[in-house]
Amino acid sequence: MPPSPPAPPSLEVLRKEIDTIDAQVHSLLMQRGDIIDRLIQVKQTQEVGSAFRPAREADMMRRLVERHRGILPLDTVESIWRVIISTFTYVQAPFSVHADISASEPAMRDSARFHFGFTVPYVAHFSASAAVEAVARSKGDLALVSATSSHTPWWIALETSGAPKVTARLPFVERADHPAALPVFVVSRVADSAMVTEVEMWSVRVSGWNAEVARALSPLAEIVAVPDTAFDGAALLVSVAPGSLEKIKSALIEAGASVRSSALVGSHATRYTVPPNGAARS
C-alpha cells in the first residue's frame, strides 16, 4: 500500500510563515534606511547635486520587471518600489511634487501618490507652466505634467542651460488597465551624470503648422503641439531617439513647414509596455 501524501500545512503554520516574511521585509527596509543614512554622510563630502537619479531608477525598475513572477500584480510591485525609492530620496533631500491638475486632478493625484507615496508633499497647480515655474524656483522639487496634451507650451521654459529638464516619463511600466495610467513627464533639476538619454525631448518652434504637417510627423515621433498664432505655427514638444531630430526637421520642411528654433529640453528612459496577459517588453 503506497504511503499517504503528507497533510497540507495548517492555516496557523502558513500565517506564521507570512509573519516571518513580513518581519524580514521590515528588517530589510530598516537596513536600507541605515545604508541611506551612511550614503547621506558620503554625499556631503563626495557628491554635489540633486538626489534624483533617473538612470539608476530606470535600471532598478527594469531589473524588477524582469525578475518578477507569481500572483502578485506587477503594478503593486512597481508602486511599492517607486514609493520606497521616492521616500528614501525624500529622506536624503526633502522635496515636493508640483502637479498640473488642469486636465484631470484625480488622475494626476493618483499618479503622484502611486509613484511618490504620501510622505512626499503634493502641491496642485492649475497649469503646467505654474508647476514648472515652481520647480524652477525650488532647490530640488519636481513637477508632473501631462505627456500627451497641453494648453500652453510649458517646455519653452526648459530651453535655457540652467533650467530644469524633463527627466522621466511615468508610468515606467505601461498597460491599458494601469492604476496610474495617466502619462506624465517629470520635470526636475538633475545632474548630467544622472540623466538617462534613451529618448530625447526637444522643443521645436515651427511656422506653417497645420493638420497635414501633423499627419506627416505622427509616424516619426511622439509630439505635443500648442498653436502659436503670432507666427502662424506651433510650439512642439518632440520625443525622439537620440540623433533623430534632423529627420524630424526634414519631414517638417518636406510637409511645407519651416523650423524657427530647436532646443534640447530633457530626456528619459524607454518605457516598458505590458500587453494583455503578457510579459513586459521595452
* Residue range 47-99, pLDDT digits in tens: 444 577 888 888 888 888 888 899 998 888 889 999 999 999 898 888 999 99
Cell representation of residue 275: 500587453
What is the value of pTM for the model shown?
A: 0.88
Q: What is the pLDDT of residues 190-228, one digit of tens each?
A: 888 888 889 999 999 999 998 899 998 889 999 999 998
DSSP designation for 52: -
Q: What percent of the chain has pLDDT over 70?
A: 92
pLDDT at residue 66, rounded to an integer: 87
Selection from 235, 157, 186 nearest residue 52 by Cα: 186
Beta carbons within 8 Å of 270's beta carbon, 6+ residues apart:
198, 199, 282
Identify the residue whose cell numbers are 551612511. Answer: 38
Would you say residue 10 has pLDDT above 90?
A: no
Would you say residue 2 has pLDDT above 80?
A: no
Would you say residue 15 has pLDDT above 50?
A: yes
Beta carbons within 8 Å of 107's beta carbon, 6+ residues apart:
180, 181, 182
Q: What is the pLDDT of residues 152-186, one digit of tens each?
A: 999 999 999 889 999 999 998 887 788 888 999 99
Listing DSSP states for 145-186 in one string gives: EESS--SS-GGGGG-STTS-EEEEEE-SEE-TT-TT---EEE
The residue count of the chain comes to 282
pLDDT mean across residues, the chain: 88
pLDDT at residue 279, rounded to an integer: 55
Cell representation of residue 145: 505634467
pLDDT at residue 47, rounded to an integer: 47
Q: What percent of the chain has pLDDT over 90?
A: 55
Beta carbons within 8 Å of 241's beta carbon, 6+ residues apart:
198, 199, 200
Would you say residue 107 has pLDDT above 90?
A: yes
- Where is pLDDT greater, at 141 or 50? 141
C-alpha distance from residue 237 to each of 93, 138, 144, 156, 253 (Å): 30, 23, 15, 9, 17
C-alpha distance from residue 161 to each of 122, 191, 192, 205 (Å): 27, 12, 11, 18
Identify the residue whose cell numbers are 533623430. Answer: 244
Identify the residue whose cell numbers are 505634467. Answer: 145
In terms of CATH architecture, what is 200-266? 2-Layer Sandwich (3.30)
DSSP designation for 73: -
